[in-house]
């Protein structure tokens, strides 16, 4: 079990350190507000789409496709989004509800999922299938709720006035485009020239560190006053409640080994740093999101290890 703890710490602590590094860069004036804002936009529009395209375009969905598994991931994701939305209704500040919803349901599926499953089982495509069932929904829901709750929106705008901009935001969202392009590339089995592959990979490799540095640089400790109870609630939902809700059902359906591990990562991993990039680019302050990413990242190494221990003890993985 010590190996599991060490692995979890190795997966999560470097993420936390990169956020701290960004915060230190801002405090020492290596980064200012203008540069951080540009860094957020650059990450949102280029490196994150490249990361998702790379992950999905190289997956061989034909040989490993499992409809029941993908539908379960989609169903659990939809129910998680609904649960997060219900929790957000307890918060009086409507402008922060979109951040609460996204931070509570959205996991590090693309970043942590493949690494986590591959570390345990070697090369595995189950994480890629999990991404197909979750990441498109993650991003469509994020664009929708963040657009509808954005402080920059006219509070008196009618539903018809909100509908078209929201749909346009989903269709033109760079992350959605990256996902769609990656899936089409994989399904059609389009060959990737070495030049294209290396170029996109360079961008993809920058996505995680840049998004975490931008998050840390944007984080203001003074803005978190009074946010701890709210953020602890988000952390409990993200790291504990969803696992309690859906892991028993996954076991009952018959998922075991790498499929069950992929589901665990989907349900119980930390809130992804790309949430912050998405929130900032859709007009939100990002304080709740940044605090949630930091807290869930810090706690997830221990909660994920605990869930792994439970599943291994029950001989399910």
Burial of residue 63 (number of CB atoms within 10 Å: 0-12, 13-18, 19+): exposed
Report the share of the chain in percent with pLDDT over 90.
32
Number of domains in the chain: 1
Look at residue 90 and tell me whether its pLDDT is greater than 50: yes
User: Mean pLDDT throughout 63-76?
Assistant: 91
Distance CA 13, CA 124 (A): 24
Look at residue 76 and tell me whether its pLDDT is greater than 70: yes
Distance CA 60, CA 125 (A): 8
Model's pTM, two decimal places?
A: 0.80
Distance CA 310, CA 313 (A): 5
Give tens-digit pLDDT for 116-160.
Answer: 666 666 656 677 788 778 888 888 899 889 988 888 665 445 555
Q: What is the DSSP letter of 286?
A: -
CB within 8 Å of 275: residues ≥ 6 apart: 102, 103, 106, 142, 289, 292, 293
| pLDDT of amino acid 189 | 85
Distance CA 126, CA 68 (A): 12
Taking the CB of residue 36, how many other CB atoms lie within 10 A of it? 20
Give tens-digit pLDDT for 271-284.
Answer: 988 888 889 888 89
Burial of residue 197 (number of CB atoms within 10 Å: 0-12, 13-18, 19+): middle
Tokens of 265: 């990562």
Q: What CATH number should be reported for the domain holding residue 199? A: 1.20.1530.20
Give tens-digit pLDDT for 263-310.
Answer: 998 999 889 888 888 898 888 988 899 899 888 888 887 888 888 888
Tokens of 286: 């990002």
Query: What domain range includes position 245?
Result: 2-313
Distance CA 263, CA 276 (A): 23
Distance CA 123, CA 291 (A): 33
| pLDDT of amino acid 187 | 85
- Beta-bridged to residue 107, according to DSSP, are 271
* Cβ(219)–Cβ(232) below 8 Å: no
Look at residue 1 and tell me whether its pLDDT is greater than 70: no
């Amino acid at each position: 079990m010590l190996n599991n703890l060490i692995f979890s710490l190795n997966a999560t602590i470097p993420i936390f350190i990169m956020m701290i590094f960004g915060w230190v860069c801002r405090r020492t004036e290596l980064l200012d507000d203008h540069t951080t804002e540009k860094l957020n936009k650059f990450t949102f529009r280029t490196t994150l789409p490249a990361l998702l395209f790379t992950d999905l375009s190289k997956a061989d969905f034909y040989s490993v496709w499992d409809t029941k598994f993908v539908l379960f991931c989609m169903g659990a994701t939809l129910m998680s989004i609904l649960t997060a939305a219900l929790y957000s209704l307890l918060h009086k500040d409507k402008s922060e509800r979109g951040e609460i919803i996204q931070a509570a349901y959205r996991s590090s599926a693309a970043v942590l999922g493949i690494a986590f499953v591959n570390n345990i089982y070697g090369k595995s495509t189950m994480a890629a299938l999990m991404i197909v069932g979750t990441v498109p929904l993650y991003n469509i829901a994020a664009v929708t709720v963040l657009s509808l709750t954005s402080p920059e929106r006219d509070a008196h705008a009618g539903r018809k006035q909100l509908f078209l901009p929201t749909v346009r935001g989903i269709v033109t969202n760079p992350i959605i485009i990256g996902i769609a392009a990656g899936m089409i590339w994989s399904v059609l089995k389009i060959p990737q020239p070495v030049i294209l592959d290396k170029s996109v990979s360079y961008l993809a490799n920058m996505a995680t560190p840049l998004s975490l540095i931008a998050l840390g640089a944007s984080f203001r400790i003074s803005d978190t006053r009074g946010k701890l109870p709210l953020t602890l609630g988000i952390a409990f939902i993200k790291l504990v409640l969803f696992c309690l809700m859906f892991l028993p059902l996954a076991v009952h359906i018959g998922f075991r080994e790498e499929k069950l591990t992929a589901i665990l990562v989907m349900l119980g991993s930390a809130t992804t740093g790309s949430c912050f990039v998405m929130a900032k680019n859709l007009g939100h302050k990002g304080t709740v999101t940044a605090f949630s990413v930091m807290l869930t990242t810090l706690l997830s190494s221990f909660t994920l290890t605990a869930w792994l221990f439970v599943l291994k003890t029950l001989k399910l993985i």
